[in-house]
Structure 1
Amino acid sequence: MKKTGMKSRKTERLMALVTIALLLFCPPLVIVVDNLPSFNVGWLPLYLFCAWAVVIALTAWLMEHRADR
C-alpha cells in the first residue's frame, strides 16, 4: 500500500518539475532575459544554460531520491 502513495508523490513531484521547466523556458521570460541591458555579456545563453542545468539537477535528484531516507 505504501508503494502507491510514494509513487503518486513521485508523480506529483515530477509534474511540478515539468511545470517549473515550462515556466523557465516560456517565451515571455526568455524575451525579458534577452532584453536585459548587456555590458558586452550575452545574458540569454547564460540563462538558458543555468536553467537547463537546474532542470537536469532537479530531475536527477528526484529520480535518485529514495523513500527510506
Structure 2
Amino acid sequence: MFKGLAAQRLVALFFAAAALFNFPLLALWDHDARVLGLPLFPLALFVIWGGLIAALAWVMEYHGNVPPAD
C-alpha cells in the first residue's frame, strides 16, 4: 500500500501527531505554570505543532535528496 520509506515515515508522523495531540499527553502540560512569562499549555502546543511541521518538512525534503541506487 505505501511504497517507499518516505510514505512510511509520513504515516508514522501522522500517528505521532495523533498521539501527541490526544488527551493523556496534553494533560501533562495543563498546569498553572509559566515559562519566560508564557503559559505552559499554549507554549507546549506551539512547540509540539512546530516540531511536527519541522519533522514533516525534513521528511519531504530528505526524500527528494536521496541519490538513486545503482
Query: Is 1:49 matched up with 2:46?
Result: yes
Q: Distance in 2 between matches of 1:17 and 1:56?
A: 10
Structure 1 unmatched runs, 5+: 1-6
Report the aligned-residue RMSD. Answer: 2.0
Task: Give the TM-score taking structure 1 as reference length.
Answer: 0.75
1:27 corresponds to: 23
1:61 aligns with 58
Matched residue type, 1:15: V
Task: State TM-score, norm by structure 2.
Answer: 0.74
Structure showing the higher strand proportion among its residues: 2
Of structures 1 and 2, the one scoring higher in RCO (CA 8 A, sep 6+) is 1
Identity %: 35
Higher helix share goes to which structure?
1
Write out the 4+ residue segments of structure 1 that deviate beyond 4 Å after TM superposition: none
Q: CA deviation at 1:21?
A: 0.8
Q: Structure 2 unaligned runs (5+)?
A: none
2:10 to 14, 27, 35: 14
